[in-house]
Structure 1
Amino acid sequence: MKAVHTSNDHFVKTLKWLMIFAGFWKMPLSKNPFLNKLYMFYSKGSKIYMFLFIILLAMELFRLIKDQENSKVIITSFCVMVSCILIAVKLYIIIKRNLADLIQEIIIKEEEIWKSDDEEVKDIFTRKAYFCNVLCAGLTMVQVVCLASMSAMAFIGDQELIEYNRVHNTTLDTYYWYQLWFPGVKLDHLGWVYTLNGCFGWIACSNSMVCHSLLATLMIFASTKMEILCAILRKCVKGKIDVDLDRNIFELKRCVVEHQDIIEYVTRLNKSISLILLLHFLLNSVEISSCVTSYLKGSVPMLQQIFLASYVTLTVYQILMASWNANEIQHQSTKIADAFYEINWLLLNKDGKTICLISAHRAQKPLSTTLGPFGAMTNQSGLLVIKAAYSYVSVMNTGTL
């Protein structure tokens, strides 16, 4: 008995919830117009809140530099602000390029697949959908652990700082969590400070998760379409009679159109995300090396160790998630040429054989996503980032490679 699917968002299930929480889901949430309008206000407010977050970080950084605060606090504040600006730039590109609209294309494709009688195609799609959801869920878990450890470190650090001020009769203010500008002494208004930091932390983390999960989902969908096309191609030509010949030519032409659609989809996707991938990869090695160096220098409290470990894990996870899916696009695109060759092309007429030859030749050129103008992104690109991070750690600790 075939499984019945009551919805067509299985492929984007995890991403859908992340986008809803971050305020990026564009489709109606409910049949109730009031709830949809309320969510629209939340969606616009979350983007304004992210902009306000960056403004407060910049104001506090300016104050720290002006008051000649500890250089370590200034550097940390600067790094956080740069990271948040990069998240905002990535999200701006996503909104400007209307990448979230491609979710509708995935849902439409999923509906077509569930109506299909091809069990092999359904199995491929189900397997890829499961992989996509697990990948996005894993990213969410690591991000939550990172935020939770940073929050716990701030709570405990503030209590220790309050005790230190009481014992030594000083007025040192808190430098934990995000360095946000606040009109007053933060330790005297911890309730407001924690509320602001919690809200800003939620917005920044959810936006970051949406950015990376959306890119991963769109790339996985591209490789899924290629794998499904290969499966259909290998069995689209069969029979020898004239009726079968007409059907074979029709199925073959339909596969060629699908291949052209895939090429267009990947080209459009790469044009939209290449700058995001470049921005993502530029600072990853520096972030990893900074965390590892902080861990190696001196004794590090347990909570800070957890935070550093989770942040490094998160960064490496994001690198490998992007590079692996980009590599899959390149790999699956070259397999289409083999699929055209594996067709029973001897059963086709001259026109059918010509179509196979031209299509196989077109598929010889691999499709790819690029790091801006610096060539295709593959698994090797991800390894290069990790190698660069190792080199930076060596320089920071020994002064030599």
Structure 2
Amino acid sequence: MSRRNDFPSMLIFCRRNMTYAGIWRFNISKIPMLQGIYTIYSIFVFVYFPIFLTSLTLQFVIMMMCDEEFKNAPQNIFRTITLMITLWTVEVKAKLSQTRMITRIISYIVDEEKKIRECLDNDVLWCYNRQAMFCRKSNFILFSVTMTVAVAMILGNVIQRRQIDIHNAIHNDSMTKHFTYELYYAGLDQILSENLLEIMNDVSVLIAAALVSSTQLIFISCIIFSTSLLKIMQVKFRKMKSYGDYIITLTELITEHQNVISFVGKLNDAMKHIILLEYLLHSLNVASVSLQFIKSEHNISMAFPVCYFGLLVVQTFLLGWNANEVKVQSLAMADAFWESQWYEPNYKAKQLMLVLLMRMQRPLVLTIGPFDAMTIQSSLTIMKASYSYVTVMI
């Protein structure tokens, strides 16, 4: 079985995507020049994206006030509102993902996975690698869907702009062409060529897509790692007898269990406000993009809402499923404990077992802000709320 110590496999995909998005806060290379280039790129993204969002918001306000053609096209309004809600949410999540608390959690995962890879227990290694594979697949699906949305946006806009060029040439008309993102250029659009503005706009789409996937991947990966720790502990509970002295083994397991509880608690503190933000805005986003799909009149304009709806569904249920797994697996540890030879140890060892069993009765959860736990039922509630919003808006 391969034991790579250069970087934990569970975070490889996430690390690459965060590096591409410019929000990875660790060194990416031992070569000073490459590290310096990446630092400059990271600073560029850090400064550029808030300016980009401010420009998008200003232009939306201007067009709502002055552009009659834009105001009379509900699909454009819904599309822009959906994008603004999503991107401002991403900006908040991107800043939160770079806080000291999150970087400490990532460092902890790196250290713990190295310890797991050095473990001699093949069952533990098999359990870890299975979870790492699931994490990579989840990350790949989320990244692929996100980039599909970005490509659909770019291609859809390019096709629409070319159709407008053809229409204007044939009918000697002056129909206005819109970019993927309608931005306030502060006079730059009078200086720069239209093709250059279009390239800048497409680059903005790709940067936004990278940030969308990165901010989601890091939190999903941390949740899956929590589940991995719980499943590994279940393996160790079932095999207590094979580890030798019960007292020593149980003492180590109690310490390990406390570390898992502490990690999930810190992860919840770092994520609960993000989960609350997701919970509040995902239903509005799903409703908005569904309405945009309903109002679309052309096949080309339907590509983005269909792809974006798929992305929102994948994000919602991936988050709900993995958050629910933390709760389920924390309770399943008691079942794993029961499957061990718990009746064989002496009285002192059984006392330690009782301490573990009592603590296992309290599930570990990731909460929606200060409210209830995030579960699959919460994801279903988001979709039900979205349906209600759509019926009201129609």
The alignment partner of 2:23 has SS state of coil
2:373 is aligned to 376
Contact 2:79 2:289 in 1 (8 A): no
Q: Deviation per CA, 1:166-209, whole angstroms, max 9, x where unpaired?
A: 45555443224111112266898322222221221122111111
Is the counterpart of residue 269 in structure 1 residue 267 in structure 2?
yes
Is the counterpart of residue 121 in structure 1 residue 119 in structure 2?
no
1:7 is aligned to 6
2:220 is aligned to 216
Contact 1:18 1:209 in 2 (8 A): yes
Structure-to-structure mapping, 1:242-253, within 5 angstroms: 244=244, 247-253=245-251
Q: Deviation per CA, 1:1-27, whole angstroms, max 9, x where unpaired?
A: x44435332111111110110112233
Is the counterpart of residue 203 in structure 1 residue 226 in structure 2?
no
1:347 is aligned to 344
Question: Which runs of structure 1 show a deviation greater than 6 angstroms over 4 or more consecutive aligned residues?
Answer: none
Bigger drift between 317-326 and 148-157 goes to: 148-157
Q: Distance in 2 between matches of 1:345 and 1:206?
A: 49
Q: CA deviation at 1:339?
A: 2.8
Q: Deviation per CA, 1:24-81, whole angstroms, max 9, x where unpaired?
A: 2233222211111211111121111111111211221232133143223445333322
1:231 is aligned to 235
1:41 is aligned to 40
Is the counterpart of residue 281 in structure 1 residue 264 in structure 2?
no
Bigger drift between 261-270 and 4-13 goes to: 4-13
Q: Distance in 2 between matches of 1:265 and 1:67?
A: 52
1:361 is aligned to 358
1:385 is aligned to 382
Number of aligned residues: 389
Q: Deviation per CA, 1:286-343, whole angstroms, max 9, x where unpaired?
A: 2222323333346432x32222211111000000110000000000001122233343
In structure 2, the gaps of 5 or more residues are: none
2:82 is aligned to 79
1:292 is aligned to 290
Q: Distance in 2 between matches of 1:3 and 1:97?
A: 32
Q: Deviation per CA, 1:103-147, whole angstroms, max 9, x where unpaired?
A: 222222222222211111111111100110011111111111111
2:50 is aligned to 51
Q: What amino acid maps onto 1:257 in structure 2? A: T
Higher RCO, 1 vs 2 (CA within 8 Å, ≥6 residues apart): 2
Give the alignment's TM-score, normalised by structure 2: 0.92
Q: Distance in 1 between matches of 2:190 and 2:329?
A: 54
Does the C-alpha gap of structure 1 residues 386 and 236 become closer, same or farther in structure 2, counting only changes over 3 Å?
same
The alignment partner of 2:363 has SS state of coil
Does the C-alpha gap of structure 1 residues 258 and 220 become closer, same or farther in structure 2, counting only changes over 3 Å?
same
Q: What amino acid maps onto 1:123 in structure 2? A: W
Q: What amino acid maps onto 2:231 in structure 1? A: E
The alignment partner of 2:98 has SS state of helix
Q: Distance in 2 between matches of 1:280 and 1:312?
A: 15
Does the C-alpha gap of structure 1 residues 297 and 180 become closer, same or farther in structure 2, counting only changes over 3 Å?
closer
Structure-to-structure mapping, 1:79-118, within 5 angstroms: 79-118=82-121
Q: CA deviation at 1:276?
A: 0.6
Contact 1:229 1:336 in 2 (8 A): yes
Contact 1:270 1:370 in 2 (8 A): yes
Q: What amino acid maps onto 1:227 in structure 2? A: K
2:318 is aligned to 321
CA RMSD of aligned residues (A): 2.2
Q: What amino acid maps onto 2:290 in structure 1? A: V
Bigger drift between 377-386 and 219-228 goes to: 377-386
The alignment partner of 2:317 has SS state of helix
Q: What amino acid maps onto 2:373 in structure 1? A: A
Give the alignment's TM-score, normalised by structure 1: 0.91
The alignment partner of 1:51 has SS state of helix
Does the C-alpha gap of structure 1 residues 324 and 141 become closer, same or farther in structure 2, counting only changes over 3 Å?
same
Select 1:394's aligned residue among 367, 391, 394.
391
The alignment partner of 2:365 has SS state of coil
Select 1:338's aligned residue among 311, 335, 338.
335
Q: Distance in 1 between matches of 2:81 and 2:392?
A: 21
1:141 is aligned to 144
